[in-house]
Copies of this chain bind each other. A is one copy, B any other.
Amino acid sequence: MYYLNGKKYKCSVSITMDIFNDRWKLAVIWYLLEKDKRFKELSEDINEISQKTLTLKLKELEEKNIIKREVFAEVPPKVVYSLTPIGLKLKFVLKEMFNWGIEYAKENGKIF
């Protein structure tokens, strides 16, 4: 039994599902696995996302201690996002999602 932010979870998998229950958070993690990124870089990586939504998702991930936000006192401003240790461990999840995507495409799509 787990207790987290005022919620109870019977199983640890529910915790993960509960955090990543939207379209974008895992995508952000995916691109942060490449390297630390600035706001604009992320926004170009995930080019379907709006600024507003990206801002929101970054804030949520920071609150949940999954990414870190660093502000550099420069002009123009520079803000760098990176994965925390626990955030970095999501690479195992994403690796399996990557693998499964390939398998799924083999059966149901075209690869070229």
A53 at the interface (CB under 8 A from B): no
Contact (A13, B97) CB under 8 Å given A3-B109, A4-B108, A109-B5: yes
Q: How far is the CA of A92 from the CA of B104 in the complex (A)?
A: 14
Give CA–CA (A21, B64) in the complex, Å: 19
Q: Are B17 and A23 in contact (CB under 8 A)?
A: yes
Task: State whether the Cβ of A54 lies closer than 8 Å to any Cβ in chain B.
Answer: no
Q: Does any Cβ of B come within 8 Å of A35's Cβ? A: no
For A3, the chain B residues whose CB sits under 8 A away are 109-112
Chain B residues with CB under 8 Å of A17's CB are: 23, 26-27, 97
Is A14 on the interface with B (CB-CB < 8 A)? yes
**A residues adjacent to B (C-beta < 8 A):** 1-5, 9, 11-17, 19, 21-23, 26-27, 30, 64-65, 86, 89-90, 92-105, 107-112
Shortest 7 CB-CB contacts between residues of A and residues of B: A12-B101, A4-B109, A15-B101, A16-B97, A3-B110, A16-B101, A93-B96
